[in-house]
Structures are given as structure tokens and as C-alpha cells.
Amino acid sequence: METAQLSRKDQIDQTATALFRTRGFAATSMRELAAALGMEAGSIYSHIRSKEELLHRICFRLAEEFFAGFDQASADDALPAAPRLRRAVESHVRVLTTDVAASAVFLHEWRHLSEPARTEFLALRERYEAGFRELIAEGAAAGELYAPDPAFAALTLLASLNWLPSWYRPGGSFTPPDIAHRLANQLLFGLEVRGN
């Protein structure tokens, strides 16, 4: 394992992410974080302003990555909605698997953000979900997708994807692209065998 030349601040972010993921934000103490970094609790404040700043940075950085991936995946206007949806799903899975710990924090710990960051975060998440919703609605309107309620379909779809960090372990039997492919298939084709 190469330590690389991460700045001390980045090391703190990284260790905090891992701890917030496994123990939760509220249950992780600064002394615990410091111990994991081999330093004293007070010393951390030479690098950050507050505990919440750590959470804030993790959550909003991930939000940016999700958006960047989605925008790139759904941009191609020449493509029908269904394949663009597939690409968006694959992008979402890529972000999730690239940074599992941060993703888990992003998904579960945002409620410990205090206002106004919390509201701001929820607005971002809603906007992201809207992207999927519109893609599905577009596909449904064009007859490519069967989705009597695009909002419902979008929620279910993202739900399946977002559970991933709770069971995915890097180095397991599935590679991230493999997972992305399987998930997209299962969600788009379903489980039931139909006569075709």
C-alpha cells in the first residue's frame, strides 16, 4: 500500500470518511479520529475548522461527482432515452464503487449536516433524482420504457443502486463494470421471463 504524498488534510478527510462510514458521524469522536491518524485530538484543528466541516466536504464532493457523471452520460442528444438511462446507471455505479466509503457517508450521514447545508444538500439530491426521472419519462413517452409512474420508477431504480455500498467490497467476485452491467440489465429487463 503506497501512502503516496497525500497532504495531511487529505489524510484526515480519508480517515474521517472511513470512520463516519463504519461507526456513523455522531458516534465518531474527534479523539477516535485522531487516534486512527496517530495524533492528538487538538492537533486536528490545525487543519480543519470543525467536525462538521469534514462531513460537509465529503457530502458535497460526492454530489459533484454524481452530477459530473450523470451530465456526461445523459448529454448525447442523438441517443434514445433508454441507452442514455443505461449509461447514467453505469455512471452512478462507477461513482459508488470508486469511492464506496464516501458514498456510504453521502447516502446516510447527510442528516447530521446543520442548516443551511442540510437544505442545500437535499436540493442537490432532488435535482439529481429529477435527472433520472426525466430520462425515464422521456423514454416512456417515446415508448422505449414501460413506466406508468416515472417518479416511482426513478425512486426504485436509485434505491437498488444506492444499496450497493452496504454490500459491495472492492476485490470481490464482481468487478465494478460487471456490477454496473448486471444492475442495469436487471433493472431494465426485470426478473421474470416473458415470452419473446
Partner DNA sequence: TACTAATCCTAACGTTCGTTAGCAAAGAAA
Partner DNA sequence: TTTCTTTGCTAACGAACGTTAGGATTAGTA
- Among 29, 98, 175, 186, which residue sits at the site for DNA (rule: CB under 7 A)? 29
d(CA 101, CA 58) in angstroms, rounded, equals: 10
Q: Does 32 bind DNA (CB under 7 A)?
A: yes
- Among 23, 31, 127, 182, which residue sits at the site for DNA (rule: CB under 7 A)? 31
Closest contact distance (angstroms) between CB of 26 and DNA is 8
Closest contact distance (angstroms) between CB of 20 and DNA is 11
Residues 92 and 70 sit within 8 Å (Cβ to Cβ): yes
Q: Does 111 bind DNA (CB under 7 A)?
A: no
d(CA 171, CA 116) in angstroms, rounded, equals: 38
Instruction: Compute how many residues bind DNA; rule: CB under 7 A.
Output: 23
Give 109's contacts (C-beta < 8 A, 6+ positions apart).
Answer: 20, 24, 25, 55, 58, 59
Residues at the site binding a copy of itself, with contacts judged by CB under 8 A: 22-24, 26-27, 82, 108, 111-112, 136, 139, 143-149, 152-153, 155-164, 167, 174, 182-183, 186-196
DSSP state of 17: H
Give which of a copy of itself, DNA, none residue 170 binds (C-beta under 5 to 8 Å, depending on kind). Answer: none
Residues 170 and 97 sit within 8 Å (Cβ to Cβ): yes
Give which of DNA, a copy of itself, none residue 186 binds (C-beta under 5 to 8 Å, depending on kind). Answer: a copy of itself
127: nearest Cα among 158, 148, 149? 158
Residues 98 and 90 sit within 8 Å (Cβ to Cβ): no
Contacts to DNA by CB under 7 A: 7-9, 28-32, 34, 38-47, 49-52
